[in-house]
Amino acid sequence: MTDILIKNGYILTMNEDREIIKKGDIAIEGDQITDIGEDLEKNNSEKAIDARNKAVLPGLINAHTHLSMVLFRGVADDLDLQTWLEEKIWPLEANLESEDVYIGALLGCLEMIKSGTTCFADLYFFMDRVAEAVEKSGLRANLAYGIIEQNDPEKRKKELEVGKKLVKDLEGAADGRISTMFGPHSTYTCSVDCLKEVRELADKHDVGIHIHLSENEREVEDVVDMYDKRPPELLDSIDFLASDVLAAHCTCLNEHEIDLLQRNNVKPVHNPVSNMKLGSGIAPVPELLSRNVPVSLGTDGAASNNSLDMFDELKFAALLSKIGKKDPTVVPARKALETATIHGAEAIGRENEIGSLEPGKKADIILVDMKKPHLTPIFNIESHLVYSCNGSDVDSVIVNGEILMNNREILTLDEEKILKDGQKTAEKLAEKV
């Protein structure tokens, strides 16, 4: 029996052929898509969803964020990265408690559901509490504990133990919706010995690694001063780079470093809004894509964005590369959509499960209401999704075959309570600094 039948939608499959069905149906049984086509039989379906005037596409994948930093939205704006981190964010984070992170994670999950993100890769602290929020919300997530040991052997031991516990306890949790990674913060906050241990642990536990890489010129200069190597070169010299490495930012890559990422099948994550806001630089996305490197897309944390809206990120991803290259043909709309769907799935090693709409894949699907003034007329729906849509146009969200939002109504979370708790918790943290 079909549990959910989506009818009459404008379907962007994002499959290998990037097939588009202008008036099509999707059948869902349990947590999987079982059929896609035109005029599917609707008899014996538990629930039918009328998708007329709606785009139906894979749920967006936010491949790099720090979810609970929504609590710091707007408290540290218009600063460079090091000032932002050292004078504003780290003092705030020093006061974070487990419950604060849980409340922030719920607020972040709420924002993502309402703007069409169905899966995210998170790198932060108290990740067991983030996992609780993920399970409650119904979203899919890839979680990593942010390891910062600053060449302190005793701290290294403790940090790695926390990372190992996360992988041991939470890999495959929430009915398989949660996967895990190891999360060394960066080459300037983790020693070479720490990075080597992380690589060994990731291999041993068969999980990936989530790291910040070459986010700005200051970071590169600091690493060169310490090791006489740029960050990608340093990681390559210790055999750290591999296909399971999720590398956030990558704004400062030279040709040799692009070669290193391509050769090792590293998965770079573009974070255009955060990179622009912090003045960090422009990632060489066209060069990476031209070499078939599957660039994915992320918002970074809401403290440096200040939003988790992946539709905003899609637009800026396309536009930033165009202005950076002074070439309007680079990163066209379809390529941008790939970064937030199938490339995002590849980035976290789940391309066989999510990232496109195909029979046998998980039912992670969003419906976008196209009957809006700012989306009329429709000539090219891919163009509209990238250049005209925003998160508030998302009408319904399905993850793992469960409806999380229907006609803008959140079904898994108490929206009013989360907003109230989020405001209260953020004010409490701000008062401590």
What is d(CA 232, CA 355) in angstroms, rounded to the nearest whole number?
27
Q: Is residue 423 part of a domain?
A: no
| The residue type at 152 | D
Residue 134 has which token pair? 């993920």
Q: Is residue 107 part of a domain?
A: yes
The confidence band for 295, taking pLDDT boundaries of 50, 70 and 90, is: very high
* Residues 297 and 404 reside in one and the same domain: no
Q: Is residue 34 part of a domain?
A: yes
| The residue type at 76 | A
Torsion sign, CA atoms 126, 265, 240, 296: negative
* Residues 257 and 341 reside in one and the same domain: yes
Helices (H), 348-397: 381-387
Q: Is residue 354 part of a domain?
A: no
For 202-307, strand residue ranges (E) read 208-213, 245-249, 267-270, 296-297
Per residue in 87-103, pLDDT tens?
Answer: 989 899 999 999 999 99
What is d(CA 170, CA 203) in angstroms, rounded to the nearest whole number?
17
Q: Is residue 255 part of a domain?
A: yes
Torsion sign, CA atoms 154, 156, 159, 161: negative
* Residues 376 and 286 reside in one and the same domain: no
- State the CATH number of the domain containing residue 405: 2.30.40.10
Per residue in 363-422, pLDDT tens?
Answer: 999 999 999 999 999 999 999 999 999 999 999 999 999 999 999 999 999 999 999 999
Indicate the length of the chain as a whole number.
Answer: 433
What is d(CA 96, CA 206) in angstroms, rounded to the nearest whole number?
30
- State the CATH number of the domain containing residue 244: 3.20.20.140
Region of 269 (left: φ > 0; alpha: ψ -120 to 50; beta: rest) is beta
What is d(CA 190, CA 226) in angstroms, rounded to the nearest whole number?
12
Domain membership of residue 375 as a residue range: 2-58+359-410
Region of 18 (left: φ > 0; alpha: ψ -120 to 50; beta: rest) is left
What is d(CA 396, CA 405) in angstroms, rounded to the nearest whole number?
5
Per residue in 198-252, pLDDT tens?
Answer: 999 999 999 999 999 999 999 999 999 999 999 999 999 999 999 999 999 999 9
The confidence band for 41, taking pLDDT boundaries of 50, 70 and 90, is: confident
> Which residues are annotated binding-site positions for substrate?
93, 185, 215, 300
Structure confidence at residue 1 (pLDDT): 67
* Residues 230 and 366 reside in one and the same domain: no
Question: Which of these, 128, 140, 223, lies nearest to 176 by C-alpha position?
Answer: 140
What is d(CA 194, CA 161) in angstroms, rounded to the nearest whole number?
12
* Residues 18 and 49 reside in one and the same domain: yes
Q: Report the chain's C-alpha Rg in angstroms.
A: 21
Structure confidence at residue 42 (pLDDT): 62
* Residues 102 and 182 reside in one and the same domain: yes
> Which residues are annotated binding-site positions for Zn(2+)?
64, 66, 212, 300
Count of beta carbons in the 10 Å neighbourhood of residue 150: 13
Q: Is the peptide bond before 254 cis (omega within 30 degrees of 0)?
A: no
Q: Is residue 353 part of a domain?
A: no
What is d(CA 271, CA 248) in angstroms, rounded to the nearest whole number?
7
Q: What phi and psi values does residue 207 have, to the nearest 5 degrees?
A: -130, 170
Count of beta carbons in the 10 Å neighbourhood of residue 290: 11
Structure confidence at residue 85 (pLDDT): 87
> Which residues are annotated binding-site positions?
64, 66, 93, 185, 212, 215, 300
What is d(CA 76, CA 43) in angstroms, rounded to the nearest whole number?
54
β-bridge partners, 269? 248, 296
| The residue type at 332 | P
